[in-house]
């Protein structure tokens, strides 16, 4: 039996591996591991333990909520196993449930951290026309509702959220969190014939923030409140009755960006 490695020996042999992961979050209780619950992190760690023969902790760039999807989640883990990255990638996709696909596995430097080094993240929220014959195929990844809303009004709301603001009004309570400041770099709505999509890019996001912004903006566009009320709600952090989260099914994490040195 080999003697256990001390911390120094373990660190010298350890590799940091970076993942890019896509998933349909409909049937999962979000990203973060929860005992006895199906989660993305839980399935990744279970699969990696089978493949590598050791327990690992997978750290994601963002903790997506129950029912939320990803097309570009980034994560990392440390391992003593010397399996090549491509072999790990193939083995993961042969082991994981079909709703979770690992798009890329690469070696990373020991200082890379999926969450701490993220410069910005981009989310997309999709709305599809509930009267479409094909809506049955869209309900896992879109909010099905009437898409006849005023695009100009929606984008007026977007112009208000650009820049740095305290988004406490548009977030779920998270224990003792004190910092609710987020800097929004881009925010816009696009309309196709039978669908709407909202994209937002920011340095950080609070829990429920995108879904509550969508809910508030749709309320404005539906004339249940006004652009001025939306602006006041953002400027005066607190509770606003129109900041009701849109359904989780429409939300997807689409991109996470890192400094050039980590590319």
What's the pLDDT tens digit per position in 199-211?
Answer: 999 999 999 999 9
- For the domain spanning 120-257, the CATH number is 3.30.70.660
How does pLDDT run across 62-96, given as a tens digit for each residue? 999 999 999 999 999 999 999 999 999 999 999 99
Burial class (CB in 10 A: 0-12, 13-18, 19+), 193: exposed
Domain boundaries, the chain: 7-116, 120-257
Task: Confirm or reject CATH 3.40.50.1980 for domain 7-116, answering yes or no.
Answer: no
Active site residue ranges: 65
Q: Looking at 6-20, 123-137, 151-165, 181-195, which range is the least confident one?
A: 6-20
How does pLDDT run across 222-259, given as a tens digit for each residue? 999 999 999 999 999 888 999 999 999 999 999 999 99
Whether residue 4 has pLDDT greater than 70: no
Q: Can 7-116 and 120-257 be said to share one CATH topology?
A: yes
């Amino acid at each position: 039996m080999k003697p256990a490695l001390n911390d120094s020996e373990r660190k010298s042999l350890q590799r940091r591996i970076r993942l890019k992961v896509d998933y349909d979050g409909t049937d999962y209780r979000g990203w973060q591991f929860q005992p006895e619950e199906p989660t993305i992190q839980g399935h990744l760690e279970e699969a990696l333990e089978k493949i590598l023969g050791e327990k690992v902790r997978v750290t994601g760039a963002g903790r997506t909520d129950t029912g939320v999807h990803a097309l570009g989640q980034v994560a990392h883990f440390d391992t003593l196993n010397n399996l090549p990255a491509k072999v790990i990638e193939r083995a993961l996709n042969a082991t994981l449930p079909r709703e979770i696909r690992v798009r890329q596995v690469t070696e990373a430097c020991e200082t890379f951290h999926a969450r701490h080094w993220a410069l910005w993240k981009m989310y997309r929220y999709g709305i599809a026309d509930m009267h479409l014959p094909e809506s049955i195929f869209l309900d896992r990844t879109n909010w099905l509702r009437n898409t006849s809303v005023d695009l100009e009004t929606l984008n007026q709301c977007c112009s208000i959220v650009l820049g740095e603001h305290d988004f406490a009004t548009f977030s779920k309570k998270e224990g003792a969190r004190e910092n609710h400041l987020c800097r929004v770099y881009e925010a816009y709505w696009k309309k196709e014939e039978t669908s709407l999509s909202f994209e937002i890019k920011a340095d950080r996001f609070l829990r429920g923030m995108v879904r509550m912004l969508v809910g508030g903006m749709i309320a404005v566009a539906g004339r249940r409140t006004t652009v001025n009320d939306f602006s006041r709600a953002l400027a005066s952090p607190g509770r606003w009755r129109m900041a009701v989260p849109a359904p989780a099914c429409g939300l997807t994490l689409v991109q996470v960006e890192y400094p050039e040195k980590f590319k």
